[in-house]
Amino acid sequence: MNWRETIRTGWDAVRAHRLRSGLTMLGILIGIAAVMLTVGLGQGAQATITSQINSLGSNLLVVTPGSTTGSNGVRGGAGTASTLTTADATALADRTVAPDVAAVAPTVQRSASLTAGTANWTTTVIGTVPDYAVVRARTLAEGRFLTAQDVAEHAPVVVLGSTTATELFGARSPLGRSVAVSGTPMTVVGVLAPAGSSAVQNQDDQAILPLPTAADRVIGGTARTAVQAIYLTAVSTEALPAAYQEVTAELLALHRVTDPANADFTITSQQAILDTATTITGALTAVLAGIAGISLLVGGIGVMNIMLVSITERIREIGLRKALGATPRVIRRQFLVEAGVLGLAGGIAGVILGVVAGALLSTAIGQPIVVSPTATLGAIVVSVGIGLVFGVYPASRAARLAPIDALRSE
């Protein structure tokens, strides 16, 4: 019996018992669909997190101040000190000091109330410089961004996020209109294009002012040159580690810190955040896929059980084949083909169910579910492999039957 006849015979045997074969494939079908959904959910979550982190800017480094210690010895959290200044940002922007840093944007921020006519809205007010748009990868829907002249003249101008603009002006264009920021009149010169929300903040709900304007007229305080964060972008992804080292070395020198362990600032790399998030989502995906994979094991046991039942029912057929000259190898191959057909059919059905369920679930929960061609092909290969692995024992048992015993079996 050649391979073509073996496959045809195996397919006919599966079709002869449609209900039993369908119930056998059900376990593999559910297992494959469950694994595809869990892996797709994990990859979708990873893609969402990556997109949110990248929306903060590309090749990003964020420098934040250290912590304060009160007179009673109580230490504040990271970022509570005023150890970073505009002078630090100016030094880091010098390409001779940090050649791998492309742009620098110091920032201060606080929550403030904005008023436009009878409308009012409370949002995050950010004081910064023109390079902020470059560092944070922001684009404009209309108008312009801050300029060096705005910063030099302490100009009373503001750039609004798309959500903030809508809350204050509705469908009207806010360009050229006046907005009172904490009671100080400002002229709207631009509106940012939507960027969405991140785990840090809503990128569309903010008002951006020139840094000196925000420090003098909105935030106030005694340290007008202090900044809450310095955002930097490296010239490329490959240059990010070098930029990190350059920024660290320069700030240690400026702050006269000899031991890096005593640094009064913290530098966070965007890549480090992304790697951490990827590791966490990858681990969760692996755990969920492992749990879902248990159903594949159950489906494989079902294949083996059905094959054993099939052998019991077809003992006389096996004996007749052997009596006509079929070798143990041919008998074994026939039952392995049947098991492989069950696995293949269950895998294809499981992939179809996984794709359909993924599309429906993604719409229902508002979370993307990624179904990659590689994962789909892998699922089919795994399902066939399960059928073959769990069909080895039944096939070997059928091959070992003695012809005379099989023929006289009732």
Mean pLDDT across the chain: 80
Q: Rounded to whole angstroms, how far apart are CA atoms 315 and 322? A: 11
Beta pairing, strands 60-65 & 265-269: antiparallel
Q: Is the pLDDT of residue 198 over 60?
A: no
**188 — pLDDT class (breaks 50, 70, 90):** very high
**192 — pLDDT class (breaks 50, 70, 90):** very high
Q: Is the pLDDT of residue 221 over 90?
A: no
Q: pLDDT tens for residues 123-136?
A: 999 999 999 998 98
**28 — pLDDT class (breaks 50, 70, 90):** confident
Q: Is the pLDDT of residue 293 over 90?
A: no
Helix (H, G, I), strand (E, B) or coil at 156: coil
Per-residue confidence (pLDDT) for residue 71, from 0 to 100: 42
Helix (H, G, I), strand (E, B) or coil at 108: strand
Higher pLDDT, 16 or 34: 34
Per-residue confidence (pLDDT) for residue 402, from 0 to 100: 67
Q: Is the pLDDT of residue 405 over 70?
A: no
| 339 closest CA partner among 383, 381, 292, 294 | 383
pTM over 0.85: no
**263 — pLDDT class (breaks 50, 70, 90):** confident
Per-residue confidence (pLDDT) for residue 75, from 0 to 100: 44
Q: Is the pLDDT of residue 151 over 80?
A: yes
Q: Is the pLDDT of residue 2 over 70?
A: no
Q: Rounded to whole angstroms, how far apart are CA atoms 52 and 133? A: 17
Mean pLDDT, residues 35-50: 77
Q: pLDDT tens for residues 348-365?
A: 888 888 888 888 888 887
Is residue 379 exposed (0-12), middle (13-18) or buried (19+ Cβ within 10 Å)?
A: buried
Q: Which tokens go with 193? A: 């294009």
Q: Is the pLDDT of residue 76 over 50?
A: no
Q: pLDDT tens for residues 302-324?
A: 777 777 777 666 667 767 777 77
CB 48 within 8 A of CB 316: no
Q: pLDDT tens for residues 90-110?
A: 999 998 999 999 999 999 999
Domain residue spans in the chain? 3-52+276-407, 82-263
